Amino acid sequence: MEVIPAIDIRNGRCVRLEQGDYDRETVFGDDPVKMAVRWAALGAARIHVVDLDGARDGSQANSGIVQRIVQTVDSAIQCGGGIRDIPSLEHSIEQGVSRVVIGTAAVKDPGMLREAVAVARHQLIVSVDARDGLVSLEGWTESTDIPALSLIDRLEGLGIERIVYTDIMRDGVRGGPNFEMYESLTSRSSVKVLCAGGVSTLEDVRRLAECGVEGAIIGRALYTGEIDLSEALTISC
């Protein structure tokens, strides 16, 4: 299992939100590029970058910062937020991003999703963000009545190879991931699953590895020092 540090960018700064609430923001650094250098130096083979402005507003607002990250570190970069059409997806790949994450467009634009599968295939990740088991869109600001499990079944049928599943109520807060959901996802589907949200301790990392997820995306706990990245990487090997 991979341990993947998260860098969430808003207004050009490195931040974390609590439970997806844009009004509950903590700033952890003014320079996301320096943060990427820090995680890369500690051994991160992959870094998860989210353009929060893009996720909420529907267009990539921090692509220049993402490009500088790609050019500065050797770690593979997977990036999402505001990628709502094929030109944006192709632009991200051309920037050197190793994996592109789409969320809202995967639900609202089925045609774009089918084309994205054809264009990106193994480089494509669909972000499934759920609150109380129901999918949320538009940077978690729009609720739906779509069960997350139903969406994942549909994605598998379309040839999606990999998802990021985020339990929004556990994102940016302590308490641990939704282990039961991850065990269910890995046992019922061939889709590879990345966990995001609530990873707070090294024991959480151990339990996720036992759940069979492909990777654990960790944000706040790395920034506060509750998890030491070097130790987490050792556990995940």
CA pseudo-torsion sign 68, 236, 81, 8: negative
Of the candidates 97, 104, 138, the residue with the CA atom closest to the CA atom of residue 120: 97
Annotated catalytic residue within 51, 53, 129, 171: 129
Q: Would residue 145 show up in a list of annotated catalytic residues for this protein?
A: no
Span of 43-57, 69-83, 166-180, 208-222 with lowest mean pLDDT: 166-180
Which residues partner with 89 through β-bridges?
none
Q: Which amino acid type is present at position 66?
A: V
Q: What is the CATH number of the domain that holds 101?
A: 3.20.20.70
Q: Which domain does 177 fall in, by range?
A: 2-236
Q: Which amino acid type is present at position 72?
A: T
Annotated catalytic residue within 8, 53, 171, 204: 8
Q: What angle do CA 229, 203, 216 make, to 5 degrees?
A: 55
Count: domains in the chain: 1
Span of 55-59, 73-77, 103-107, 174-178 with lowest mean pLDDT: 55-59
Q: Would residue 167 show up in a list of annotated catalytic residues for this protein?
A: no
* Rounded CA separation 204/195 (Å): 11
pLDDT higher than 90, residue 196: yes
